[in-house]
Structure formats: C-alpha cells, structure tokens
C-alpha cells in the first residue's frame, strides 16, 4: 500500500474510460453531465458587481453581525419558513426597485439557506453530515 493509499483510503479517482485529448497531448475526462460552475460567473460584469460576489459580501456582513455560518445552525420548519418569507420579501423589494439593501443578494442567500435547511430537515439531521 502506498503512502497516498494509506493517507486517503476513502477517496478514489473515478474513470469513465473516455478521454478528451488536447493538441498539447493532455488528456482529461469529458465534462459532459457535470455541473458547470464556471457559467455562474457572467462575462463583462465587474467582479464587485457580480451577484455571487454581492451574496458573499452579504454573508460576510452577516457573519460579523451574528456569527460565521450562523445560518447553518437552522434545522427546523419554523426557521425554514422564516427563510422562505425573507426570500420572498426581498424578492418583492427587488421587483419594486428598492435600493436600501442588496435585495437580489438577499434573495440568493435566503434561497441557499432555505434549500440547505430543507435538505437537513429531510435527512433528519441538524449537522448536515
């Protein structure tokens, strides 16, 4: 057994048997059927104006106000409904053109928090593991 096999026995390198070969000779597994996170970042939009950046900034402010990852403590239907209500309220404020807060970022955050909490409730666990 190699040192890598001893250190990380729970991991494997999956292999479909298919390869994309590049002019340089590099080979890679095809990306077909895999999530394209690179497409979440719009081209020609400044970094600080991108919605993901704005949502991350909102989460930083929340971490300073409440605690890091405070939102991940949620594990009840009551908290889930509170997040849904907040997402909808911020959506309505965004639609109305209100600019007192970054309502689009708040919608994204609340949907992330809602989906995470719903997943945990469905699994019947508060720790998300």
Least confident of 19-23, 82-86, 110-114: 19-23
Structure-model confidence comparison of residues 127 and 108, the more confident one: 108
Alpha-carbon separation of residue 76 from 56, 81, 83, 84, 121 (angstroms) = 24, 9, 11, 12, 7
Give the residue with greater pLDDT, 80 vs 5. 80
For residue 72, give the nearest of 35, 109, 107, 108 by alpha carbon: 109
104: left (phi over 0), alpha (psi -120 to 50) or beta: alpha
- Say if residue 55's pLDDT is above 80: yes
CA-based R_g, the chain, Å: 20
In 3-state terms, what secondary structure has residue 28? strand
Tell me the percentage of the chain whose pLDDT exceeds 90. 75
Of 105, 111, 94, the residue nearest 57 (C-alpha): 105
- pLDDT tens-digit series, residues 1-53: 666 566 656 777 888 889 999 999 999 988 888 888 999 999 999 999 999 99
Closest CA to 109 of 67, 48, 60, 65: 60
CB 27 within 8 A of CB 20: yes
- pLDDT of amino acid 127: 47
């Amino acid at each position: 057994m190699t040192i890598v096999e001893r250190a990380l026995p729970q991991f494997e390198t999956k292999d479909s048997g298919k390869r994309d070969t590049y002019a340089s000779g590099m080979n890679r597994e095809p990306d077909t059927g895999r999530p394209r996170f690179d497409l979440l970042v719009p081209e020609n939009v400044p970094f600080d104006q991108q919605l993901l950046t704005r949502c991350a900034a909102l989460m930083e402010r929340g971490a300073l106000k409440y605690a890091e990852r405070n939102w991940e403590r949620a594990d009840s239907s009551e908290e889930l409904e509170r997040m849904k209500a907040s997402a909808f309220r911020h959506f309505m404020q965004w639609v109305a053109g209100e600019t007192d807060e970054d309502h689009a970022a708040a919608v994204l955050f609340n949907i992330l928090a809602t989906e995470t909490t719903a997943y945990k409730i469905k699994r019947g666990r508060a720790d998300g593991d």
